[in-house]
Chains A and B, each alone.
Chain A
Amino acid sequence: MKNLTKRFGEVIANDKVCLTVRRGEILSLLGENGSGKTTLMNMLSGIYFPDEGEIFINGQPVVIRSPKDAFDLGIGMIHQHFKLVDVFSAAENIVLGLDGKAVIDRRALSEAITGISRKYGFEIEPERKVYDMSVSEKQTVEIIKVLYRGADILILDEPTAVLTPQESEKLFAVLRNMRDDGKAIVIITHKLNEVMEISDRVAVLRKGSCIGTVDTACTTPRELTEMMVGRSVTLDIDRPSVPRGEERLKVVDLTCLSEEGVTLLDKVSFSAYGGEILGIAGVAGSGQKELCEAIAGLCPVQGGAILYAGEVGGVPLHENLVGKSPMEIIRKGVALAFVPEDRLGMGLVAGMDIVDNMMLKSYRTGKGPFADRAPARVLAADVVERLSVVTPGLSAPVRRLSGGNVQKVLVGREIASSPSVLITAYPVRGLDINSSYTIYHLLNEQKEKGAAVLFVGEDLDVLLELCDRILVLCAGRVSGIVDARWATKEQIGLMMTHSGKGGGKK
């Protein structure tokens, strides 16, 4: 790629980026949020068209107008959000959208898929329906889909964000096999340890420009971070020691069922104390979401109790939150900063500006029928400044901010309400290192203020460094609570899947 430039209106997402990917290598693409990684890859895969610059494949200049062109050129992209049809089987998803005869030769297809799987070390059942699959299986289908179409250049956008450590290892083994087979692989990731582990070379983007490409063997995480951020940063997460406060939240035998009657939470019991960060670990879909929502009053509870001890206006309060409406729970000082998979699904209103989003929970304050935007405006300005949110202005719709900045707005608002219990789910999901540290710092601040912080996370390294205790969920059950200072990654990894059947099942 030579001098690729892409503008969105007046924003320059990529500025004269030059990048080379060789056959038989894994190239990591590293950069902060909004540094243009995804835009760059989207130009390669035909989703965007570059405003300037040229793309060469095997020395030939090419023009990629559509994803179909990209496929024809052997470029395949595996997106962060899977594009699969749930009610179709793996095999059906793989041939979806391909030209061909009206009748699909299922046996030949199955064989072809099994062939690809065996060659690179995938595990897949071609006839399994997608809705039955775990996240990592879905990802496998996506990868085979592009391989089946003859891709030589594979682009993976944050493939490990949704995987357990064990699943990530498996994926890396597959990627290495593909590399040895002569494929060119580009992997976008934020996790430096993965970059060091898997890639041959690393390209670093900062603010839309390519800062440089280095051989992984001759670099260190520290050096990469400096390239990314543009200055030196420390990579250690603080864990300030704060004397453990009183018991703020006591959850006893909490049980939740889905609408179909599937058990989502099964007799979950734990306590959360002020001045402590309680980590919650688990494979995706083990009940983290339901746990957070049950505490916030958003998820119907079938059994058990959530006992809350706090104070309202100086008066001590002991109450069971089960059966209370979300409104009452917010008033008691329980704040939920839930960052869902799509970041904007809940917690923020995509089409509204930062000011309007700031008043989402507080708009009722003040008498009369009119909403007072003045405090929200002050708060918005404050959050933008303190968390250094990159935004065209306070009146820009949140949708237009990049993922990391969206999360800062969300977490900033929840913290501003000075909650006594702060629940954060995946607050650093997809965030770059710099922003992640800002968020960790904010959580520590809340902890020092004496709030009980629940931190649902996916990166075990972070959980181990940041939290005081870690509660491990597996298929809706608590498989244990460990002291984060002594626990090891392997121990937690095992607890995440301890039921033996694997945590992928709901």
Chain B
Amino acid sequence: MTARSKSAHREPLVRIVKRGDISTRKAWCIRALAALGAVLTGALLILALGHNPGPVYGQMIIGALGSKTALTETIKKAIPLLGAAIAIAPAFKMKFWNIGAEGQIMAGAIAASYFALFHGQSLPRPVLLLVMMAAALAAGALWGVIPALFKARWGTNETLFTLMLNYIILGFERYLQNGPWKKPSSGGFPKIAMFGESAKLPRLFGVHIGWIFVLVLVVAMTVYLYRSKHGYEIAVVGESEPTARYAGMNVARIIIRTMLLSGAIAGLVGFLQVSGANYTLTENTAGGIGFTAITVAWLAKLNPVVMVFIASLLAILQKGSGRIQTEFLIPASAAEVLTGIILFFMLGCEFFINYRLILRPGKERKHG
């Protein structure tokens, strides 16, 4: 039998073995090595583009953190990322793949803008801001709960559903921008008017107070997910719906409730964007934040505290790569590749923290 002749297999060259518990120090060593690897690989890319890696990296850091303005801009980028990631967390924990945060942000932004644009004069500032926020929460919750209702009632696929809702709300925004809400003086380049002063979020330490909102959300969501009864229910439903039913949980109600919450937080992010960052509504108000937030949430393993760091890292990379584009005329695509390399190393190293590679012993044993 030919099978026998194959018995001369050698041990595989590299084997992957799961590690037991690894010491924290060792884990951080691996992470540090990964960071070094990322910097070196990125340097190769920069060299290939004909630049000196040292100054380019330097400018990235300066561009993101070097001055008060730069730092403010970076934080302004991190706020919506973090907020949207927190919004996604409970849904993802429930294994309800809400990729509609983008649309929920937009829904919240539109609702908040309505009050800013049409009731901006009649209401005092605190009341107006509160009304805008409430409207954004409600609109986001509505946009989030629609797919949940369909999933709970008819078992529809939430991934497609939430994705499609993104396009609907984006189309609606374009309609408003080009029609009813168009600023009369904007001419052939349709725009929505800037908000009045009373519709703008106040600042604290140079950044709109959205950062306080999201930090409070980090704490609240951590407690909600890990300490509350609701959080427990979400985790059980996510692991196994039959088990949840067995434990007497009303699965449909939990799905709906969780998506109301997820959508509402995303809606709040929309409010922060229009009222804190942009002072107006554009079709880029959500600008892919809802999708990038999925990366943030996932990388943080849905842990809100870790999300703070991931969102900051992404914001720094985005801001820094923007800087080197203008400073060294490095094309945007190359800057993105650089960002990708750094992320790849930082995330890839988690694999080496969980697994160990074993090389075939150098001295080859004779087989067969």
Q: Which residues of A contact B (CB under 8 A)?
A: 7-11, 49, 51, 57-58, 60-65, 69, 71-74, 150, 296, 298, 325-330, 336, 338, 344-352, 356, 359-361, 363-364, 369-371
Contact = CB atoms under 8 A, between A and B. Distances in A.
B231 A371 contact: yes
Nearest to A350: B239
Contact of A349 (B6, B9, B10, B240): B240
Contact of A371 (B6, B229, B240, B246): B229
Contacts of B183: none
A49 B367 contact: no
A363 B243 CA distance: 14
Contact of B243 (A63, A72, A346): A346
A356 B234 CA distance: 13
Contact of B248 (A65, A361, A369): A361
A371 B235 CA distance: 13
Given A57-B7, A361-B248, A371-B232, A349 B15 contact: no
B92 to A, nearest CB: 14
B18 interface: yes
Given A61-B368, A360-B243, A349 B235 contact: yes
Interface size class of B (residues with CB under 8 A): 35 or more
A65 B245 CA distance: 42
Contact of B11 (A63, A74, A356): A63
Interface in B1-49: 1, 3-4, 6-7, 9-12, 15, 17-21
17 contacts: A9-B19, A9-B21, A10-B20, A11-B20, A60-B368, A61-B368, A63-B10, A63-B11, A73-B3, A74-B3, A329-B248, A330-B247, A338-B246, A349-B239, A356-B232, A360-B236, A360-B247
Given A62-B367, A326-B245, A352-B239, A371 B227 contact: yes
Contacts of B230: 369
Contacts of A57: 7
Interface string B254-285: 00000000000000000000000000000000
A348 B243 contact: yes
A359 B18 contact: no
B242 interface: yes
B246 A72 contact: no
B240 A364 contact: no
Contacts of B232: 356, 359, 363, 371
A351 B10 contact: no
Nearest to A369: B228
Contacts of B4: 58, 60, 73
A327 B19 contact: no
Of listed A58, A336, A346, residue having the most chain B CB within 10 A: A346
Contact of B12 (A49, A72, A371): A49
Nearest to B230: A369
B245 A298 contact: yes
B178 to A, nearest CB: 45
B9 A8 contact: no
Contacts of B20: 9-11
Contact of A361 (B6, B229, B235, B247): B247
Contacts of B17: 7, 51
Contacts of B228: 369-371
Contacts of A49: 12, 15
Nearest to B18: A9
A317 B115 CA distance: 57
Nearest to A66: B12
Contacts of A63: 9-11, 367
A283 to B, nearest CB: 23
Contacts, number: 110
B229 A10 contact: no
Nearest to B237: A349
Given A8-B18, A62-B9, A356-B232, A330 B248 contact: yes
Nearest to A56: B7
Contacts of A370: 223, 227-229
Given A73-B3, A347-B246, A364 B18 contact: no
Contacts of A359: 232
B124 to A, nearest CB: 33
Contact of A350 (B1, B7, B240): B240
B290 to A, nearest CB: 26
A7 B236 CA distance: 31
A351 B18 contact: no
Given A327-B250, A346-B240, A371-B228, 16 more contacts: A8-B18, A9-B21, A62-B9, A69-B6, A150-B1, A325-B250, A345-B242, A345-B243, A346-B246, A348-B243, A349-B235, A350-B239, A351-B235, A359-B232, A364-B229, A370-B227
A363 B229 CA distance: 7
A73 B7 contact: yes
Given A9-B20, A72-B6, A150-B1, A296 B229 contact: no
Nearest 8 Cβ contacts at the A-B interface: A9-B20, A327-B248, A10-B20, A326-B248, A72-B3, A63-B9, A349-B239, A62-B7
B239 A351 contact: yes
Contacts of B250: 325, 327
B299 to A, nearest CB: 19
Contacts of B10: 63
A60 B243 CA distance: 49
A415 B9 CA distance: 52
Contacts of A69: 6, 9
Contacts of B19: 9
A63 B245 CA distance: 47
Contacts of A356: 232, 235
Interface string B98-112: 000000000000000
Contacts of A338: 246
A269 B66 CA distance: 79
Given A10-B21, A325-B248, A61 B367 contact: yes
B138 to A, nearest CB: 22
A242 to B, nearest CB: 29
A7 B245 CA distance: 37
Of listed A8, A11, A349, A356, residue having the most chain B CB within 10 A: A349
A351 B6 CA distance: 41
B65 to A, nearest CB: 38
Of listed A69, A150, A369, residue having the most chain B CB within 10 A: A369
A329 B248 CA distance: 9
Given A296-B246, A327-B248, A345 B240 contact: yes
Nearest to B356: A9
Interface in B189-246: 223, 227-233, 235-236, 239-240, 242-243, 245-246
